[in-house]
Structure 1
Amino acid sequence: MEHDMTATRMTALSAAVLIAVAMAGSVRAADFMADGTAAYIQTIKIPAQEAGVLQEVNVRDGDRAQAGDLLAKIDDRQAQAAKKVAEVKLAAAEKRGNDTIEIRYAKAAGEVAWIDWDRDRQVNLASAGTIPDIQIRQKELVYRKSLLQHEKALNDQVLAKMDADVYRAELEQAELALERREIRAPFDGEVKTLNIRQSEWVNPGDPIMEYVRLDNLYVDFNVDGEQYDPIDLEGLAVTVTVRLARSETVDLQGKIVSIDPTVQGLTQTFTYQVRAEVENSKPRGFWVLRDNMPVVVTVHTGQ
């Protein structure tokens, strides 16, 4: 009985569309019509990527979301702390890498040590033995030490910049850990089924919710193989007529994207299935086309 009611509805829908289109004069002789059924293009189970307590759930069954919306979140307190540590380490390393105090001090100390050492040497050149040799050697050592301190200060600056690179990578890792604890909408769509509730524990790979795409849907329909070959239909534009409540109709546009190579029927009269991708519409805030809805497809073979 249910099958008969569905068939009756499809026949009524087809008849209504034929009358409406004929009155509008928009169907050319080259176009043909067929009954079709809508189907989701994409249905996914959004998994948890990290283990933890599901701290936040912002949606319920049937809620719609835009791409990037935060749907749920796993406890991220430890990841937040790791991020703060990485930020402090990075800031300290960058400060050391940009600090030139030790470099400038070592250079100035070297200049003074050179003057002090050279003065004693000049005195002994003018009057040999005036200044003990050990004192001159000690001042030479002070000068050479200042040169090494300058070199070390330059090297420490390079190492500090390398540390900054390491801590920057740690910060990126901490930010990724936070991102992996956020469950965001991968595309515009709707939550079909929420599998895990707030405060429940999840493991990596656990399906948190089933999510469906609604901005575009497939429409499947059968074509008479005696009338059209697959090559005749490839890539053609289609108009999909959806019947709403109170006998209202909405037309959606799309095009044929695939043709099933399998034929149906064992005699000379056979059909094959054709699939069109249709751009959905939500004129009143709700998507017009839904999964498994009966529609009428007008194939524009003249285009």
Structure 2
Amino acid sequence: MKRILTWTLAIAAQISSPVAAADISVNSTLLKIIETVEVPAQQAGALDKVNVREGTIVDRGELLAHIADKEMELELVAKKAEHAIAQREAENDVNIRFSKKSLEVSQAELQRALDAIANFPNAVTQTELDRLRLLAEKNRLEIEQSSEQQEIAKLTANLKEAEAAITGERLAKHKIVAPIEGMVVHVFRREGEWVDIADPVVKIVRIDRLRAEGFVRSDEAAIGLQDRAATVRVSLPGSDPLVVPGKVIFVDPEVDPVNGDVRVWVEIDNADLKLRPGLRVEMSISTDEMADDAKTPAAAEVSVEK
């Protein structure tokens, strides 16, 4: 005979079922901008082109404005020509080859004189022999001198190449490019205006990714919210509420002494640009991982009596 089998199975199902836990509600949540950049001029000069205006969406590396650079272009041409000349000089080994040939001739002439003396002791005077030896030594030193001059020419070519590269970098700084993706919200200088180094030209804000910032209770912040999944709900006029997933990026280590709240940040994607910084939103942080930690894997034992 079975005894209360249904009752024991019900207990087992209750033990194995997950414990429901409510998500943490985040108070006073506001959408904010993650990145804002005021793009400066890196060279002084007159703006001969401004390619953007307020509201323009730009990609990273896109040309925003251009500073007149005709003089710098001519300087770069001159530097490249100087480098080409120095390179030709560094590759020119005519002097070395000529000195080697001269050494061969002087050594041959000296050897003939020595052979003549071996056969006829008075065939060549000592003065002439000294002159031939000096000439051979001179040609040998000329080879060393020509080799040294070629090494110096190589160093000069490297120097001219570096100078051309520096000029090229300075020329590139006449182009003002976007350091991030985003929207142009302010143009500080217009075409024809003069800018100095570090003067802001364009202001860009990143809007494809936003930060939802709000507050939770200090006891909720103490349970490890970092990297937890979050959900942001936005009520947009004339459309259904928008639900956007996110992730907790930052939990402030400081507790507000007045109300005991802790500030948290959640980053969300805004690829379709429907969300705008400054909107008040609703946000909650998932507690699924905490619920999983609270589960007890104890197994219920079912007994059957006959």
- Amino acid of the residue matched to residue 211 of structure 2? Y
> Which of the two has higher C-alpha Rg?
2
Contact 1:54 1:200 in 2 (8 A): yes
Q: Counterpart of 1:181? A: 174
SS at 1:218 equivalent:
strand
Instruction: Say whether 1:242 aligns with 2:234.
Output: yes
CA distance in 1 between counterparts of 2:155 and 2:180 reads 39
Deviations 1:264-289 (A, max 9, x none): 855xxx6443221222212xxxx222
Q: 1:236 to 1:116 in 2, by over 3 A?
A: same
Query: Which residue number in structure 2 is paired with residue 228 of structure 1?
Result: 220
Contact 2:103 2:139 in 1 (8 A): yes
Report what 2:243 is aligned to. 251
Distance 1:180 1:230, change over 3 A: farther
Deviations for 1:65-85, whole angstroms, at most 9, x for unmatched residues? 111111112122222222222
Aligned amino acid, residue 238 of structure 1: A
Tell me which of the two structures has the higher relative contact order, counting C-alpha pairs closer than 8 angstroms and 6 or more residues apart: 2
| Matching residue within 118, 127, 152 for 2:120 | 127
Work out whether residues 95 and 146 of structure 2, in 8 Å CA contact, stay in contact via their aligned partners in 1. yes
User: What fraction of aligned residue pairs are identical, expressed as a percent?
Assistant: 28
Contact kept, 8 Å, 2:221 with 2:251, in 1: the verdict is no
Partner letter of residue 230 of structure 2?
A: V
Distance in 2 between residues matched to 1:190 and 1:55, nearest whole Å: 22
Residue 291 of structure 1, aligned match among 277, 289, 292: 277
- CA shift at 1:105, angstroms? 1.9
Q: Structure 1 pair 297/194, CA: closer, same or farther in 2 (3 Å)?
A: same
Alpha-carbon deviations, 1:36-82, whole Å to 9, x = none?
Answer: 22111121211112211112211111111111111112122222222
Larger mean CA deviation between 96-105 and 48-57 belongs to 96-105
Q: Distance in 2 between matches of 1:139 and 1:164?
A: 37
Code of the aligned partner of 1:30: A
Gaps of at least 5 residues in structure 1 are 1-27
Compared with structure 1, are the counterparts of its residues 109 and 278 closer, same or farther at alpha carbon in structure 2 (3 Å cutoff)? same
Alignment of structure 1 residues 23-172 onto 2, 5 Å: 29-34=21-26, 36-172=29-165
| Structure 2 length-normalised TM | 0.79
How many residues align structurally?
268
Q: Is the 8 A contact 1:252 1:281 kept in 2?
A: no
Distance in 1 separating the partners of 2:181 and 2:89: 46
1:291 Cα deviation after fit: 1.2
CA contact (8 A) 1:242 1:288 kept: no
Contact 2:221 2:262 survives alignment (8 Å) = no
CA contact (8 A) 2:24 2:220 kept: no
* Residue aligned with 1:290, SS: coil
